[in-house]
Amino acid sequence: MKRAFLLIVVSLLVLLAVLLFNTLKVKEPNETVIPLPVFESALNESEMTARLSRALRFATLPDQPQAFDGFHDFLRQSFPLSHEALSLKTFGHSLLYHWDSGEDCAPVLLLAHQDVVPVSSPDAWEHPPFAGVVDSQFVWGRGAMDDKGSLMAILEATEALLADGRAPACDVWLAFGHDEETGGSEGASRMADWMAEQDLRFGMVLDEGGMMLPGSTLGIEQPVALIGIAEKGYMTVTLEARAEPGHSSRPPAKTAVGDLANAIAALQENPRPAGLSEPTRKMLQQVAPYQPFAKRMVFANLWLFEPLIVKQLAGKPETNALVRTTMSPTLLRAGVKDNVLPATAEATINFRLAPGESRESLLAYLEEQLPDSITVTPLDTFLSDPSPTSEIPSPAFERLAGLARSLPEQPVVAPFLLIAGTDARHYQPVSDQIFRFMPVALSQDDLPRFHGHNERLSREQYPRMVRFYAGVMLGEE
């Protein structure tokens, strides 16, 4: 008995020593800061803001081709040096620019998209969504954050570098899709296919996605700049239940609507398993040095504490999406009259696939969870498996991180898993260094503005975006 007790004590002491050793190894790294470029011809911030305002007045929606034509005319007029120095190839309404550096090195590809999502409730906006209103703090309008702000900042950077007589370190390509919000099949997909046919291989691809958020998001004091190194997959299915139609005064034991409701409830009560994907694991490891000691010990010893961390992340909607495939019922269709039992009831369910999930494994899960009375049909309008994870550390990632640290917020930089989708996924065949980051600082209150009401971009931050993208293009000067 005494021997067993001593063995337990020794085991606990060894465990404690391992935990402390791993924790003490975690120290704040000596991280590189790369200064943002300074232009000889000072940026005219009021003119830049005015151009962004005008860009937001083009309602570049899928069913508005004339808006894209007008937007393209506006770009040609607004950025004459860029349109003179860069070649331009079009794919429908998508634009692909090439800036030839004359250097023999891996090119850089910067992405943004022209299209915007519709506005469901314009009366809920503080300013009309397509008016491009400018006040003392913000530029307001649909697309300001998603994603004309990035598109315009990239072109402003190109124009400013040309005005200064400066060339990029390596060739720069700019790909501005026109249908990102509907899957990118006619824009980014076609441009990526053409690039692959030309045997282009990029040293870095940068798209929208991550951003700077308050450090409290990850339990630290400093702001955190989240650079996406992967993104979740996308799959939508319809669930259909059938039953005998009839009069609502004589309902049977089972109805189409009831069966469909039970099916949705079953999926919500039995979610996909949670776990730490590689991007999320790397994010936690990156912020570990900035945590209080107790949390630092947890993050430094994921081999032991992973179940605890996963449970905590899964307990909040804003972080649950980081650890599992999620499902969202988005559309319901049933019935024609309040006193008629419908013969069919349908639900549209949107899934965001976590790394390690596939469309095949998801369909197998649905078949296991749902009764035979429910028909599952995947929608083929847009399907995407989770993206590969960009390998880091790498020179491309470190350059983005160094530029991000030079922003006034001086953020801690961390990789992460983007839970939404971007055009970047189409470019996997032409690069293994794909990142998702927009150099703006937002609060948690700003996040609902994406696809929501009152989208806006800070006037103060916009020139910093321009300098950031210029820094990406210039590379090591």
Q: Which amino acid is at 43?
A: L
Closest Cα to residue 472, out of 442, 423, 435?
Answer: 435
DSSP 114-129: ------S-GGGSSS-T
Q: What distance, in Å, lies between the first and last C-alpha atoms of the chain?
A: 70
Q: And the tokens for 364? A: 């197998």
pLDDT, position 298: 87
Burial string for 393-404 (b: 16+ CB within 10 Å, else e) reads ebebbebbbbbb
The H or E element spanning position 274 is: none
Q: Which amino acid is at 155?
A: L
Q: How would you class 452 by CB atoms within 10 Å of its CB: exposed for 0-12, middle for 13-18, buried for 19 or more? A: middle
Q: And the tokens for 2? A: 């005494």
Q: And the tokens for 233? A: 């997959």
Distance CA 287, CA 271 (A): 28
The catalytic site residues sit at: 115, 180
pLDDT, position 126: 95
Residue ranges per structural domain of the chain: 45-211+391-474, 231-378
pTM for the full predicted model: 0.93
Contact 411, 222 (CB under 8 A): yes
Q: Is the peptide bond before 193 cis (omega within 30 degrees of 0)?
A: no
CA dihedral 63, 128, 148, 470 (to 10 degrees): 160
Q: Which amino acid is at 239?
A: L
pLDDT, position 9: 67
Task: Write the CB contacts of 443 (distance below 8 Å, at least 6 apart in sequence).
Answer: 213, 214
Q: And the tokens for 228? A: 């996406």
Positive or negative, the Cα torsion across 442, 445, 449, 450? Answer: positive
| DSSP code, position 41 | S
CA dihedral 228, 230, 231, 235 (to 10 degrees): 180
Q: How would you class 60 by CB atoms within 10 Å of its CB: exposed for 0-12, middle for 13-18, buried for 19 or more? A: buried
Contact 271, 351 (CB under 8 A): no
389 alpha-carbon distance from chain centroid: 13
Contact 435, 227 (CB under 8 A): yes
* Residue percentage of the chain with pLDDT more than 70: 98
Task: Write the CB contacts of 64 (distance below 8 Å, at least 6 apart in sequence).
Answer: none
Fold classification of 45-211+391-474 is Aminopeptidase (3.40.630)
Q: What is the CATH number of domain 231-378?
A: 3.30.70.360
Distance CA 245, CA 260 (A): 15
pLDDT, position 195: 98
Q: And the tokens for 225? A: 């700049």
Residue ranges of the chain with per-residue pLDDT less than 70: 1, 5, 9-11, 14-15, 18, 21, 476-477
167 alpha-carbon distance from chain centroid: 29
Domains 45-211+391-474 and 231-378 share a fold: no
Taking each helix axis from N to C end, the angle separating 293-300 and 302-314, rounded to the nearest 10 degrees, works out to 110
Distance CA 51, CA 74 (A): 9
Task: Write the CB contacts of 96 (distance below 8 Å, at least 6 apart in sequence).
Answer: 88, 89, 90, 173, 174, 175, 176, 191, 194
Distance CA 354, CA 351 (A): 9
Contact 391, 464 (CB under 8 A): no
